[in-house]
Structure 1
Amino acid sequence: MENQPEIVRQAIVYAKQGWEVAEGWLLSPAAWTQFALLLAAYLLALVISRRLRGPLTRLLAPPPDQTNVVARLRNFVLIFLPLLLPLLAYVFTGLGEGVTRSLFGSGAVIAFGKRVFLFLAVRILVRDIFTEPFLKLLGNYVLIPIAALYAVGLIGPVSERLEATVIPLGNMSFDLLWLLRAIVAGGLIFWLGRWSNERSTSYIQSQEEMRPATRQLAAKVAEIVIFGAAFLVLMNILGISLTSLAVLGGAIGVGLGFGLQKIASNFISGVILLLEGQATVGDYVELDNGEAGTIVKTTARAMILETFDGRWIVVPNEDFITTRVVNYSDQGSANRYEAPFSVSYDTDINIVPALIEEAVAKLPFVLQEPDRPDCELRAFGDSGVEFAVEFWVNGIDDGKNRFTPQVLFAIWNALKEHDIEIPFPQRVVHHKGLPPAA
């Protein structure tokens, strides 16, 4: 034994202690009584849970056509029905523990059984009830091991061992128990923060009476408040004083002033855009470099534009403040477009404007207000007389593929109906000084 590693010697000691406990239980009448009570508690819980499962399911299940808060709450309670059996067994075992302690002055066996039932409840919770990947990960690697250690009575020694293992880090030091607590608490708190942020954002975006820019600003404020509160709660749980973060805050401030000034500038520009409402989700904008698209998402750093061909363009918020941006505002406002065309020089161009204006005005999407379609003579080109018809529509002709093609079809049909030729590029070439044979 003296030549064995420390961990092997410790395991042998725990094995001997476990064997002594098991041997004492096997030879004790009080232990056999407690085993019988454990079995009776489990069988009673099994019978009652089977009888209650059907009525509880019918009582808690809401009608299929209900989607209100009460219905969602009833569905939430319904998913915990698999815990009915182990929790009933745990309660009945606790009652039996009181009886055995009053009769025999001992209840170690039945207390062990009670902890086993609690372990089974945790296992069912993780396996059958948790659906979120993060919660399943937390349950498999944290909750179940802790419940298993608690069931065999080793939670105390393991905690003391982890607390005694100190990791130095420069002028600071922390034990493994504190590190595990920080990882678990931090992951759980910020998962709750993300879940709360998603719910609050969904609720804010559903408030149609609010302006889109106001909804975006409210969602961002809610996100900052939620994650700020999560950070403060985590610091409080870990016992870290906020005053000790003053130096770190100063360092972050210096970093923002030098290395992160672009990020800070984009963040502040995003806040300004939300406050002023100059550009928000749903607006169709054209940038100074000619790129155009619909704003589909706003972040703290940039806005995401989706072009008519499905591409996403990430535009820093600062560009919306410092450069020229055309906002067509696809929120029900009218916009004017034009469709160019040309006719042959043999055409009586005096009849063309009225002809085209009448044809375009018949299209169902063309507005009569603020102006009717207007056909204008633009130039005398190399191949023909150039015209353009201006028309107003309610919305965006994104990519010139929504309204303009239908207008061009109407122009083509109107010209063909009146035998007006649409010229193609042509040149007249004069040759001088040709040889006599030619």
Structure 2
Amino acid sequence: MNVETRPEILDQAIEYFNQAREIAEGWLLSPAAWSQLGLLVAAYLLARLADRKLKPFFERLLTPAGKKKSLLSKLRLFVLMFLPLILPLLAWAFTGIGEQVTRSLFGSGAVIAFGKRIFLFLAVRAFARKILKDPFLKLLGRYVLIPIAALYTIGLLDAVITKLDETIVPLGNMSFSILFAIKFAVLGGVIFWLGRWSHEQTTQVIKQQKEMPPATRELAAKAAEIGIFGVAFLVLMNIMGINLTSLAVLGGAIGVGLGFGLQQIAANFISGVILLLEGQATVGDYVELDGGEAGTIVRMTARAAILETYDGRWIVVPNEHFITTRVINYSDAGSAKRYEAPFSVSYNSDIEAIPAIIEDAVAELDFILTDTEEHKPDCELRAFGDSGVDFAVEFWVNGIDDGRNKFTPRVMMQVWKTLKANNIEIPYPHRVVEMKTADQEAV
């Protein structure tokens, strides 16, 4: 390959290789380098010996007894997570002491300084692989923290940063360096991760305030979420030196988008705020919508409410439906509600005696309310049917007659047993069939 046409990056790689080879040859032929290498080995062995002694001691000291969940126990467990860093950090510290000794004796310490950076790299690697548990932080450690530590170890960090800062990416009327884009992505991810973590902690604290109404708790949680992420956005813009006035055009574009494509999202968001403020429907309420959807509200988001049906299915209902359509709210789980169980008896039965018999039998069920006169079971004559006399027994219970409770089937079973025990016939349809002979048909 012609030297004049050779790529610049290849020339830089050759130059770095030649420098590394010269450094390695100098280290191999230098007594001072061999002494520094010996100090490196001694520092590592000493750190390993100290690690074997200190790690069991700290494990016994920091491990909480039993399953305590106090703040001190959580703090001790948090510190216990960092035990894998003892070995590389001790080696790094002992190597630092050895570096001071070699520089005072030989006036140089390049070998031991390189070993010191290796131990620091091992500490960063252990931190990213063994200590970080959150998926996002683990990803950040693997693809950002470890590469930065590796570049620092081999002495190329400053050169790479300079190169990234000099590489400009044009974007319309704007331009930015690759280094700026990387910083923005990393800082943005970290700040919004902290915002998400803060939001989760704040939501837990708010939901533990049982004296607050459920709607107020949900509204406070939403307000805290908006506030936290709003502050996170402002902090990110301030750190990156972005002038907020330059976002006016972006804000106008978002406004146009809300007016056209995002109007449903905006409507659902505003409807959710109205629901939380008025408390017409909140988490824990059993609701039935005009479209037939029915279930218990288990979660309310900025866009929709999630209903859980009696058979465990989740229905996502946009918040706007709670405002623009008819909604039946059976709210206040545990309050008294009335239901009825229909049945029929034969025309041969003593119709006047049936209401008292059924009312007494239904009142014996443990879930039937009989505390007031209005709540006692009431058996009523409803109609004279084709096959029998139609009755219905009305009863009051605490809760909702859904798939979990099934109050009505239990009441109907009680009615069946009572009718059978009193020899009261339950009718069934009768039909008269006429059989004609051939002579009759001829006539």
Runs of 5+ in structure 2 lacking a partner? none
For the pair 1:405 / 2:409, whether they are aligned, the reply is yes
1:2-57 Cα shifts (integer Å, max 9, x gaps): 44332222111100011111222222333233222222222221111111111111
Conservation of the 8 A alpha-carbon contact between 2:168 and 2:178: yes
Query: 1:404 is matched by which residue type in structure 2?
Result: T
Q: Which residue of 1 aligns with 2:161?
A: 159
Aligned-partner Cα distance in 2 for 1:255–1:127: 42
Aligned-partner Cα distance in 1 for 2:44–2:270: 62
1:129-155 Cα shifts (integer Å, max 9, x gaps): 222222222222111111100000000
Conservation of the 8 A alpha-carbon contact between 2:310 and 2:404: no
1:174-201 Cα shifts (integer Å, max 9, x gaps): 1111111122222222222222222222
Equivalent of residue 417 in structure 1, options 399, 417, 421: 421
Equivalent of residue 263 in structure 2, options 261, 264, 273: 261
Q: Which residue of 1 aligns with 2:381?
A: 377
TM-score, with length taken from structure 1 = 0.94
Q: Which residue of 2 aligns with 1:41?
A: 43
1:66-107 Cα shifts (integer Å, max 9, x gaps): 111111111111011010011111112222222333333322
Give the deviation of 1:241 after TM superposition: 1.5
Q: Which residue of 2 aligns with 1:287?
A: 289
Runs of 5+ in structure 1 lacking a partner? none
State, as a whole percentage, how many aligned pairs show the same letter.
Answer: 69
Map of 1:305-324 to 2, 5 A cutoff?
305-324=307-326
Conservation of the 8 A alpha-carbon contact between 1:353 and 1:374: yes
Equivalent residues, number: 437
Conservation of the 8 A alpha-carbon contact between 2:376 and 2:396: yes
Conservation of the 8 A alpha-carbon contact between 1:186 and 1:234: yes
Map of 1:387-402 to 2, 5 A cutoff?
387-399=391-403, 402=406
Task: Identify which range, 327-336 or 51-60, moves more after superposition.
Answer: 327-336
Q: Which residue of 1 aligns with 2:252?
A: 250
Q: Which residue of 1 aligns with 2:19?
A: 17
Q: What is the DSSP-based 3-state SS (H/G/I as helix, E as strand, rest coil) of the residue aligned with 1:67?
A: coil
1:365-419 Cα shifts (integer Å, max 9, x gaps): 1111451011111111122111111111111111596111100000000011111
Map of 1:20-419 to 2, 5 A cutoff?
20-370=22-372, 371-399=375-403, 402-419=406-423
Conservation of the 8 A alpha-carbon contact between 1:369 and 1:392: no
Conservation of the 8 A alpha-carbon contact between 1:217 and 1:271: yes
Task: Identify which range, 283-292 or 100-109, moves more after superposition.
Answer: 100-109
Give the deviation of 1:437 after TM superposition: 8.5
Cα RMSD of the aligned pairs, angstroms, is 2.1
Query: 1:256 is matched by which residue type in structure 2?
Result: L
Task: Identify which range, 399-408 or 330-339, moves more after superposition.
Answer: 399-408
Q: What is the DSSP-based 3-state SS (H/G/I as helix, E as strand, rest coil) of the residue aligned with 2:418?
A: helix
Query: 2:223 is matched by which residue type in structure 1?
Result: V
Aligned-partner Cα distance in 1 for 2:409–2:193: 49
Aligned-partner Cα distance in 1 for 2:379–2:293: 28
TM-score, with length taken from structure 2 = 0.93
Aligned-partner Cα distance in 2 for 1:290–1:168: 54
Task: Identify which range, 95-104 or 264-273, moves more after superposition.
Answer: 95-104
